[in-house]
């Protein structure tokens, strides 16, 4: 691609833009030096493109071996572009609440380069320009980061519904730093559960406010929020203004063949009684672009309960409609029900299946994780097992140190089922979670415990390693290490000896352990002293008071580590 092209490492490709070349639409092709042929789509999540060290999202995949820097990236002669596909750019560990897709991509644009937007609970909005393989935060102008809903009119015009902040809109969603502006004039509710668009109008389903529609200000190119026109209008006949529960809208879908027909889901109270003769939650239809709404089916006046042929549960959470069969609406309700609705009849058919292929439980997560990423290992030594001498880096002879270790993805989520974890030490003994296989359960394990014991008998200190190795086909293999010095044992030299029956001396030295000082005692009470490393110590033994041979035991205790050594002195029996 020009002069000064170098491969700076096994994973990073750097080059200078040639002065004579154009500065846009440069294609990086390292096939002759290092392949960009990704072994799987998931490996593309590791791609990071930087211009002069600053990450950019203005790139696309031409194919599995080429990346193209797009026009608008702002390249200048002499800039350095780095393509690093050993690092990832991910949405952090926040709950993803909504997704929006550019509704009108170029016909020639491959799926890898589709523009997507993701709304999160607490982290705002993220954007991907490469089909979801990497993400960047775009929150400039947002004052509420709890996103409940997103909808894109096109790749640049995106609306975000929030919990407590109403609706925000950007006209420049593909710019490097898009600007969000609040658009809440006429919107009588601040919690926006769902958004829908037919490409011209925007519909907002709110909590306890019903449905609002926006017909003006749906296009433009504002670079600031001054004079941004957008006025919401409540439906003339809303989903039901006489029953507050009916104004809790959970979903809106538009007939793909006739944009004047819309369906809305509302959250009822879960009972079949009709309070105050007001229609309860369920499915509503509009045939005039959201101006007026009626329930499916309409309820006869005077009825005190829902009819038997109504929905099995009036708490409706989701709706679906297919372009291939727009005359059928699919309804998801509380109580583990999927219902097929024919709006023209209207009739409901529960389609939960039959055993053993029945829908038998709600689909849910104990956490908010539907994706598990690359493996991360953390080893944490527990403070209550530190042994003083040598600080964190040593384990005394005859002592031990406790550890916890965590095995997760980069966001702290459990790894996938079948992941194998092995813990080993190069010296000493290891107890606890030394071999673990992650089970096929929803709330997988992430925290484990180990005890590393120094039971070596070497006469010198040992530099040893604790290794945690993870083998995970889905998340990727990884290894983490932590080192410790295993302190040598305390030694008494000689370790045994003899004295005559009428008494005598036994001389010895103490070494090892901390190599500092030791408390030395004998079990006959004749010796109780402090000795320094290598110092000669004398045990003076008097005449044997017994009529038989006796044994005297000497104990040397390291005053730093607490490790001990023993020696025995045999005294002959009197004649």
| pLDDT 10s digits, 511-542 | 998 889 999 999 999 999 999 999 999 999 99
Question: For position 423, what pLDDT does the model report?
Answer: 96
Q: What are phi and psi of 41, to 5 degrees?
A: -60, -35
- Predicted pLDDT at 3: 32
DSSP run (H or E) holding 188: none
* Mean pLDDT (whole number) for 130-154: 88
Q: The tokens of 338 are what?
A: 């999927």
Residue 276 per-residue DSSP state: G
- Return the pLDDT at 229: 67
Q: Which domains does the chain show, CATH number per domain?
A: 6-84 (no CATH), 92-223 (2.130.10.10), 235-361 (no CATH), 375-486 (2.60.40.10), 490-571 (2.60.40.10)
Lowest-pLDDT range, 142-156, 269-283, 353-367, 379-393? 353-367
Largest CA distance in the chain: 123
pLDDT exceeds 90 at position 240: no
Predicted local confidence at residue 8, as pLDDT: 33
Among residues of the chain, what percentage have pLDDT more than 70? 70
2-22 pLDDT, tens digit per residue, is 333 333 333 333 443 333 333
DSSP 414-430: PPPTT-EEEEEESSSEE
| Least confident residue range of 32-36, 53-57, 221-225 | 32-36
- Average the pLDDT over 197-215 and give the result: 90
In the predicted structure, residue 182 carries a pLDDT above the cut 80: yes
73, pLDDT greater than 70: no
Is residue 108's pLDDT more than 50?
no
pLDDT score at 471:
94
Which pLDDT score is estimated for 48? 63
pLDDT of residue 532: 94
Give the burial string for 277-310 (b: 16+ CB within 10 Å, else e).
eebbbbbbbbeebbbebebbbebeeeeeebeeeb
- Residue 571 β-bridge partners: 499, 550
Cα(386)–Cα(396) distance, integer angstroms: 10
Confidence of residue 366 (pLDDT cuts 50, 70, 90): very low
- Give percent of the chain with pLDDT exceeding 90: 37
Average pLDDT over residues 265-287: 70
The CA distance from 22 to 75, in Å, is 9
- Extract the runs of DSSP E, i.e. beta strands, from 136-235: 136-137, 147-152, 158-162, 167-170, 181-182, 192-197, 202-206, 211-214, 232-234
- What's the mean pLDDT in 87-114? 66
CA dist., res. 28 & res. 15, Å (int): 9
Residue 27's pLDDT is 47
- Mean pLDDT for 211-229 is 70
Closest CA to 242 of 204, 281, 214, 207: 281
Between 201 and 362, name the one with better pLDDT.
Answer: 201
Over 90: is that where the pLDDT of 285 sits?
yes
pLDDT of residue 40: 41
Q: Rounded distance, CA 258 to CA 304, Å? A: 35
Cβ(280)–Cβ(314) below 8 Å: yes
pLDDT of residue 399: 85
Question: Starting from the edge strand earliest in sequence, which strands make up the sheet with 232-234, in order?
Answer: 192-197, 202-206, 211-214, 232-234
- Amino acid 368: pLDDT: 42
Listed range (57-61, 84-88, 382-386, 397-401) with the worst mean pLDDT: 84-88
Strand bridging mode 80-84 / 48-51: antiparallel
Non-local (6+) Cβ contacts of 42 within 8 A are none
Query: Helix, strand or coil for residue 263?
Result: strand
Burial of 54 (0-12, 13-18, 19+ CB in 10 A): exposed
pTM of the model: 0.52
Q: How far is CA 297 from CA 248, 261, 451, in A?
A: 18, 16, 66
Give pLDDT, residue 454: 92
Q: DSSP string covering 345-402, please?
A: TTEEEE----TTSS--S----SSS-S---SEEEEEEE-GGG--STTGGGEE-TT-EEE
More confident residue, 85 or 573: 573
Peptide bond into 346 cis (omega under 30): yes
């Amino acid at each position: 691609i020009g002069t000064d092209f170098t491969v700076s490492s096994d994973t990073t490709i750097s080059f200078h833009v040639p002065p004579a070349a154009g500065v846009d639409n440069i294609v990086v092709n390292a096939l002759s030096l290092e392949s960009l042929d990704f072994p799987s789509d998931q490996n593309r999540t590791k791609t990071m493109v930087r211009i002069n060290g600053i990450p950019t999202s203005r790139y696309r995949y031409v194919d599995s071996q080429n990346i193209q820097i797009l026009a608008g990236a702002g390249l200048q002669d002499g800039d350095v572009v780095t393509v690093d596909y050993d690092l990832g750019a991910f949405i952090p560990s926040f709950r993803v609440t909504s997704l929006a897709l550019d509704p009108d991509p170029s016909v020639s644009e491959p799926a890898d380069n589709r523009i997507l937007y993701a709304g999160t609970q607490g982290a705002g909005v993220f954007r991907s320009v490469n089909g979801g393989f990497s993400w960047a935060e775009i929150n400039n102008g947002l004052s509420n980061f709890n996103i409940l809903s997103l909808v894109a009119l096109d790749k640049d015009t995106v609306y975000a519904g929030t919990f407590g902040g109403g609706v925000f809109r950007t006209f420049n969603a593909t710019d490097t730093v898009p600007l969000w502006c609040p658009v809440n004039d006429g919107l009588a509710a601040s919690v926006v559960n769902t958004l829908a668009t037919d490409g011209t109008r925007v519909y907002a389903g709110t909590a306890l406010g019903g449905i609002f529609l926006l017909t003006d200000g749906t296009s433009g190119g504002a670079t600031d929020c001054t004079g941004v026109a957008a006025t919401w209008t409540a439906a003339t006949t809303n989903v039901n203004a006489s029953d507050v529960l009916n104004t809790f809208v959970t979903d809106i879908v538009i007939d793909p063949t006739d944009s004047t027909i819309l369906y809305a889901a509302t959250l009822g109270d879960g009972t079949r009684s009709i309070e105050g003769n007001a229609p309860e939650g369920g499915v509503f239809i509009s045939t005039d672009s959201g101006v007026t709404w009626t329930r499916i089916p309409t309820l006869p006046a005077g009825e005190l309960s829902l009819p038997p042929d109504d929905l099995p549960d009036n708490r409706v959470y989701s709706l679906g409609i297919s372009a291939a069969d727009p005359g059928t609406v699919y309804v998801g309700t509380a109580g583990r029900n999927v219902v097929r609705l024919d709006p023209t009849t209207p009739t409901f058919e529960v389609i939960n299946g039959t055993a053993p292929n029945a829908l038998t439980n709600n689909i849910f997560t104990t956490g908010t994780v539907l994706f598990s990423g690359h493996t991360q290992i953390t080893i944490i030594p527990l403070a209550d097992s530190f042994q003083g001498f040598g600080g964190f880096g040593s384990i005394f002879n005859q002592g031990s140190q406790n550890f916890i270790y965590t095995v997760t993805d980069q966001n702290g989520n459990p790894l996938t089922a079948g992941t194998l974890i092995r813990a080993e030490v190069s010296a000493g003994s290891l107890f606890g979670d030394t071999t673990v296989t992650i089970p096929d359960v929803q709330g997988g394990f992430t925290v484990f415990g180990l005890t590393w014991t120094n039971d070596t008998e070497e006469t010198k200190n040992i530099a040893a390693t604790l290794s945690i190795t993870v083998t995970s086909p889905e998340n990727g293999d990884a290894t983490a290490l932590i080192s410790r010095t295993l302190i040598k044992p305390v030694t008494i030299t000689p370790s045994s000896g003899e004295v005559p029956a009428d008494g005598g001396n036994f001389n010895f030295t103490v070494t090892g352990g901390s190599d500092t000082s030791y408390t030395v005692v004998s079990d006959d009470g004749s010796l109780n002293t402090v000795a320094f490393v290598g110092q000669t110590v004398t045990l003076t033994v008097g005449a044997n008071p017994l009529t038989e041979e006796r044994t005297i035991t000497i104990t040397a205790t390291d005053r730093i580590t607490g490790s001990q050594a023993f020696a025995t002195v045999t005294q002959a029996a009197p004649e």
